[in-house]
Amino acid sequence: MVSLYFYDKKIKLPECTRLGNFNYKIFAQNLSWKGYRLPQYDIQAARDYTKAHPVWLHFGAGNLFRAFPAVLAQRLLTARLSRAGVICCEGYDEELIDRCYRSCDHLSIVATVYPNGTVNKEVVASVTESLKISEDEDRLRQIFTSPDLQMVSFTITEKGYVLRDDQRHFLPAVGQDILQGPQAASTFAGRITALCLARARAGLAPVALVSLDNCQNNSHLLRRMTTDLAGGWLEHGHITQEDFDYITKKLTYPLSMIDKITPHPDERVCAMLQEDGLSGMEIFTTSKSTVAAAYVNSERPQHLLIENDFPNGHPAFEQLGVILTSRSIVEKSARMKACTCMNPMDTALGLFGCLLGYTRICDEMQDPDLVNLITRMSEREAMPLVTDPGVIDPFAFLHEVLGERYPNPFLQDTPQRIATDTSRKLAIRFGETLKAYYNSPVPMHRATHLTYIPLVLACWLRYLVGVDDEGQPFQLSPDARIGNVHKLLGEVRLGDQVTEERLYPLLSSTMYFGINLFEVGVGERVVALFNELNRGPHAVRETLHKYCGEKEPEPAW
Ligand SMILES: NC(=O)c1ccc[n+]([C@@H]2O[C@H](COP(=O)([O-])OP(=O)(O)OC[C@H]3O[C@@H](n4cnc5c(N)ncnc54)[C@H](O)[C@@H]3O)[C@@H](O)[C@H]2O)c1
Ligand SMILES: O=P(O)(O)OC[C@@H](O)[C@@H](O)[C@H](O)[C@H](O)CO
C-alpha cells in the first residue's frame, strides 16, 4: 500500500493523491476523470515489478523527460508491452525529485497543446521511482547490477557532459575524482562511471547508455564522459584494463535524435488544471534555475530515432513509433534537425526575440520580417546542403515546423528559453552548414554569398551587448560560458562600431562556431552586420527589415 498526501493529510490508497482528486479506484476502472486520460494499468503492480526488475533508468528528471520518454514508458505499460516502467534519477537539480515526483506520488500530468486550442491531458504514472544521485547510491548500484537492466538514458543538457574547462583541462572536481578513484567519486560523471564499473565487476551483460540530448554527436559526448573518467582511473591504477574495456568497448552508446518542443510550464495550462480542481500546480523555479511544475506542457509532433545497438535488449520502442535504425540514418536525421530544419531557426527566433521584446515564439511567427528570416535562412541557405535521412522528409519536417509548430498559439515557448546556452549551440546549429559550404565543390555554394546565417551570428553578438532594441538593458538567458565569451568580445556598448581585428578572437574561435568564421569567408560579413545591428536603438529592427522585408536588397555579390 502506498501512502499519499492530500492537502497535507497522510492518507492511504485507494483514497486521493496530492495531485488533486484522483482516486486510484478510478484508475483501476479505466475511467477518465474530467476528460483526463488516466493510466490503464495497475500502477502498484508496475511499481513493484520495476523495483525488482529495473529495465530502464533515466538521468535528468526535467520537463522533456516527463513529456516524452516517460510517456513512452506509459504506452509500453498500457499496451502490455512491458511490465516495467522507468526509474528516474537526478544528478544535478535534486530539488526536482522532491517537488515534481515525491510530493506528487510520482504522478505527473502531461498537457498536449494543439494549434486549434485543444488540450489533451493525461496522468502519467510510469515513473515508478525517483532517486537522487547524492543520496540513493545503494539503490543505484542495485539497479546497475540488475541483470534486467537494458538501458540508461540521459537528458542532462549539453553542460551535463562537460568535464573540462575552455583550456581543455579537467575541472577541479573531475581531477579529484580521477585521483581518488571510483569509490570516492563525487561528480556526476564520476558516479555514473563508477556505477558502470559496478556492473562490469558483477560480470553482467553490458547495457546501452543513450544520450537523448540535443547536441552534436550526443553518443560521443556520453562515451567521452565515461572514457575520460575510466582512462584516468586506469592510469592511476584504480581499475584494470578489463574494467576499462567493459566501459569503453562493451557498453554501447547509441546515437539518438529526439524532437518535441517542450517549453517551460505555461501559466494558462496551470490555470486550466486548477480550474479542474487540481492542487499544487503552481510553477516554480528551483535554486538551480530549472523551471518546473507538477505538470508539463508540450506539443503533439515528436520524433525519436535511436541507433539500434542495445547489447542487453531494449524496451519495445519500435512498437511506439520510435525508429531504431542504423547509426548513419540517425546521424543524418540529427543533422537534418539540428543543423538545418529546426534548431538554427530556434536560435534565430531566440536571439532576435530577446532583442525585440518578444516573450512568445508564436508571436514572433506573426512578424513578417522574422518569418522571412527563418524561411529564407532554412530554405535558401541551409536546405541546399541537407542530406535526406530517408526516414523523415526534410521538406515536410521543415514545413511542419514553419507552418504548424512554431505558430501554435497554445504552445507557450519563449525566446528566452531558446537563448539559453547559445554559446554551446552555434557550432552545431550553424558551424556544420558553414563547413559544408567551405568543403563543397559546387561553385554556387560560396559562404561569401550567405546573408541570413551571418545575420543570426551577428545578432548573437548584438544580443551579448545586453541592451534591447529600445536601448534598455535586459537579462541574458543563462549561459555557462558567458564569462569567457565576454572576455573575448571585450566591452562593446550600443552604438559602438567595431573592427574585424577587434572581433577576430571571438569570431575565429572554433570552440564557439565550429570553424574560424574568417577562414570560411563569413567573418567580415558578420562584423559588418553587427555594426549595422549595433548602430543604436531600433537598428535591430531596421537591419532585420532591410534584409528580411518583402523587398530584398540586391545581393552584395
Ligand atoms: N525541451 C525541449 O524542447 C527539448 C527537446 C528535445 C531535446 N531536449 C534536450 O533535453 C535537454 C533537457 O531539456 P528539458 O526540457 O528537460 O530541460 P529542463 O530545464 O526541464 O531540465 C534540465 C535537466 O538537465 C539537468 N542538468 C542541467 N545541468 C546539468 C548538469 N550540469 N549535470 C547534470 N544534469 C544537468 C537538470 O538537472 C534537469 O534534469 C535539453 O538540453 C535538450 O538537450 C529538449
Ligand atoms: O533544448 P536545447 O536547450 O538544446 O535547445 C532549445 C530548443 O532549441 C530545443 O529545446 C527545441 O525546442 C527542441 O530541439 C525541439 O525538439
Q: In what order do the strands lie in the sheet with 151-154?
A: 127-132, 86-90, 56-59, 151-154, 208-211
Residues lining ligand 2, CB < 6 A?
A: 214, 259-261, 343, 346, 418, 420-421
Q: Up-side HSE of residue 532: CA atoms within 13 Å toward CB?
A: 20
Residue 227 forms part of a structural domain: yes
What is the CATH classification number for the domain harbouring 541? Answer: 1.10.1040.10
Atom index in ligand 2 nearest the CA of residue 262 equals: 12
Among the bound ligands, the one closest to the CA of 157: 1
| CA–CA gap between residue 247 and residue 144 (Å, rounded) | 13
pTM: 0.93
- The conformation of residue 339, written as its DSSP 8-state character, comes to I
Same domain, 202 and 276: yes
Q: Are strands 9-12 and 3-6 parallel, antiparallel or unpaired?
A: antiparallel
Is residue 102 within 8 A of residue 18, CB to CB? The reply is no
Is residue 536 within 8 A of residue 465, CB to CB? The reply is no
Q: Whose CA is nearest to atom 13 of ligand 2?
A: 261
Atom index in ligand 1 nearest the CA of residue 60 equals: 39
Same domain, 282 and 366: no
Sequential pLDDT tens for the chain (557 residues): 233 332 233 333 333 444 444 444 445 455 677 888 888 888 999 999 999 999 999 999 999 999 999 999 999 999 999 999 999 999 999 999 999 999 999 999 999 999 999 999 999 999 999 999 999 999 999 999 999 999 999 999 999 999 998 788 999 999 999 999 999 999 999 999 999 999 999 999 999 999 999 887 999 999 999 999 999 999 999 999 999 999 999 999 999 999 999 999 999 999 999 998 888 899 999 999 999 999 999 999 999 999 999 999 999 999 999 999 999 999 999 999 999 999 999 999 999 999 999 999 999 999 999 999 999 999 999 988 888 999 999 999 999 999 999 999 999 899 999 999 999 999 999 999 999 998 888 777 777 889 999 999 999 999 999 999 999 999 999 998 999 999 999 999 999 999 999 999 999 999 999 999 999 999 999 999 999 999 999 999 999 999 999 888 776 65
Is residue 295 within 8 A of residue 273, CB to CB? The reply is yes
300, 325, 350: which is the final residue of a domain? Answer: 325
What are the contacts of 47-50 at 24+ separation with CB within 8 A? 47/2, 47/85, 47/106, 47/128, 47/129, 49/83, 49/84, 50/83, 50/84, 50/85, 50/86, 50/87, 50/128, 50/129
Say if residue 441 is preceded by a cis peptide, omega within 30 of 0.
Answer: no
How many domains is the chain built from? 2
Structure-derived torsion over alpha carbons of residues 206, 325, 65, 274, reported in degrees to the nearest 10 = -140
Same domain, 227 and 343: no
Is residue 417 within 8 A of residue 351, CB to CB? The reply is no
What is the CATH classification number for the domain harbouring 152? Answer: 3.40.50.720
Q: Containing domain of residue 248, as a range?
A: 3-325
Same domain, 276 and 359: no
Same domain, 340 and 381: yes
Give distance in angstroms: CA of 468 to centre of ligand 1: 27
Give distance in angstroms: CA of 173 to centre of ligand 2: 28
272, 303, 325: which is the final residue of a domain? Answer: 325
Is residue 343 within 8 A of residue 325, CB to CB? The reply is no
| CA–CA gap between residue 157 and residue 436 (Å, rounded) | 26
Residue 556 forms part of a structural domain: no
Residue 122 forms part of a structural domain: yes
325, 359, 378: which is the final residue of a domain? Answer: 325
Is residue 370 within 8 A of residue 352, CB to CB? The reply is yes
Residue 458 forms part of a structural domain: yes
Give distance in angstroms: CA of 359 to centre of ligand 1: 20
ipTM: 0.98
Is residue 113 within 8 A of residue 297, CB to CB? The reply is yes
Same domain, 228 and 376: no
